[in-house]
Homo-oligomer: A and B are copies of this chain.
Amino acid sequence: MAKSPERAIGPTSYSILGLLALRSWTAYELTKQMGRTLHHFWPRAESGIYREIKRLVDRRLAVADTEAVGRRSRTRYTITDEGRIALGSWLATPHEPGLLESEALVRILLGDQGTKDDLLVTMQRMAEEADELRTQMVTLVRHYAGGTGEFPERSHINHLVAKFLLDLSDLVSDFTRYGREVVTAWPDTAGRPPDEATMERLRELIQNRSTGAARASS
């Protein structure tokens, strides 16, 4: 009785399912929890969560039961065995190609169509976002290191993600520092024959970098 070749569901649905794998949550709790960690690298509007979770129920990957809160109702969701299996199967499939997606980089690439100031502001904001990410991650890691993290049994996993995000925030800080320095020295953003400083910086980039995958680790 499976309802025809079910369409595949995506990372957003599986993220929710992943949270449900830990415990049951009300819809509202789910939106908040998604906002805490996941939104750093998978930001989604809250309203979408409400819809996705109902799709999970349609597919019997989760079940809903209703509690009353005054005159209004609240829905609590719990993962099913089928749900756990589906989650496991998904994790065994390869991820979509592509390391990242970033609007800020798009703006930098289009930088010559805006003012110098626009570019500097973009990088300034990237730097601020990196600082905030670092702060949040340091706080989180402190909790885990002190044994007060929210799901202590997940310390090993969270440590991996935190490591990545901390390294990334450092990368962005360094990049924006470099970028703001470079851009400040430009007369403006406009296209122009490459100057010697730019050529030198281009050469620096490939210094010690081969075309191949091989790379010296520090």
Contact = CB atoms under 8 A, between A and B. Distances in A.
Given A92-B118, A134-B213, A174-B167, A106 B159 contact: no
Nearest to A109: B161
A66 interface: no
A139 B145 CA distance: 43
A9 interface: no
Interface in A140-164: 141-142, 144-145, 147, 151-164
Given A141-B205, A170-B215, A192-B153, A126 B99 contact: yes
A157 B189 contact: yes
A98 interface: yes
Closest 10 CB pairs of A and B: A91-B114, A153-B191, A131-B213, A155-B194, A18-B110, A101-B101, A145-B202, A100-B100, A41-B105, A91-B118
Interface string A191-208: 111110011011101100
Given A118-B91, A175-B167, A201 B159 contact: yes
A54 interface: no
What is the copy number of this chain in the assembly? 2
A35 to B, nearest CB: 12
Interface residues of A, number: 108
Contacts of A102: 41-42, 99-101
A50 B156 CA distance: 45
A58 interface: no
A93 to B, nearest CB: 9
A119 to B, nearest CB: 8
A144 to B, nearest CB: 5
Contacts of A11: 103, 106-107
A86 B174 CA distance: 31
A145 to B, nearest CB: 4
A99 B217 contact: no
